[in-house]
Structure 1
């Protein structure tokens, strides 16, 4: 069974342009989330240990969550920068590393959703349906982006293979 691939990105864009678009969007969203969560970590950090936080430690919990999201988005920022460097330099090994890292994150997030579903929901059926639709949309778009980057990698790899070893005269 062959690795699935596509021949062009949506909106009639080539794979290279689509991969650049994915890289720039990944970079922008990661940077925005990192800044947003850092601002909230600073805001909640000021309230940790105060009288308002003494009872239920809500601000401490939100501070830890904000810091974790900031670190996670910084890792995504590095992944997006790696993708852009790989695309602009046509470096197939970096593209392959990006694909494997994103696949690992994809599988981990799907497993997290499935495990959290196993413990049951505490919301209504319509909220579950809306969360399901949002999840399918998010994971579908993410899978398509990973597929696009992998297809661009396959295209680069095939052109590298076509060049072959350097020719020497005997």
Structure 2
């Protein structure tokens, strides 16, 4: 049994257009998150090491988290640019790299969520827990669909390459 694939993206768009849309949305979200976290970290930097931070180190902790997320989003910006360039050039290697890295990141995020929930437990009312669960299902579902779309585009390109056959040489 092989990897599942789809034949068209949302709203009857082709896989190439869908892969481009995924790349541009990934780039947009990554850039916005990188800018927001950078601004947030810069605002927190003024409070790091002050009397307000001395007791519990809350500002220092939030500063470290904001800087870490800003750095991690640089990886996502590079991934998004890789996907966009690969789709435009029809490079199967770049598209496959994006699919594998995003799949690994999605599995790592899922494992992290499950481990943190198991270690720290679930807090809040039943409706808060349900809404958090629903948000997670929607987020990971959309992410999996985007990965599936780009992987299907990769399979389509790879199939077209295989149909061309080996390079012909003139004797």
* TM-score for the superposition, normalised by structure 2: 0.97
* Residue equivalent to 1:106: 106
Distance 1:23 1:16 in 2: 11
Pairwise CA distance, 1:169: 4.5
Question: Is the partner of 2:117 in helix, strand or coil?
Answer: helix
**C-alpha distance in structure 2 between counterparts of 1:123 and 1:139, whole Å:** 22
Runs (4+) of structure 1 exceeding 4 A deviation are none
Q: Mapping of 1:121-140 within 5 angstroms?
A: 121-140=122-141
Contact 2:123–2:129, Cα closer than 8 Å, also in 1? no
Q: CA RMSD in A?
A: 0.9
Partner of 1:4: 4
Structure 1 counterpart SS, 2:50: coil
Q: Aligned pair count?
A: 170
Counterpart CA distance in 2 for 1:88 and 1:98 is 14
The CA deviation string for residues 84-128 of structure 1, in whole angstroms up to 9 with x for no partner, is 010011000111010000000010011011111212112111110
**Gap regions ≥5 residues in structure 1:** none
Partners of 1:52 and 1:166 lie apart in 2 by: 69
1:36-47 pair list within 5 angstroms: 36-47=36-47
TM normalised by structure 1 equals: 0.97
Deviation at 1:4, TM superposition (A): 0.4
Mapping of 1:12-23 within 5 angstroms? 12-23=12-23
Structure 2 distance, partners of 1:48, 1:103, is 36
Tell me the SS of whatever aligns to 1:53.
Answer: helix
Residue aligning to 1:142: 143
CA distance in 1, matches of 2:31, 2:3: 32
Checking the alignment, whether the CA contact within 8 Å between 2:19 and 2:150 is kept in structure 1 is yes
Quick one: distance in 1 between partners of 2:11 and 2:30? 24
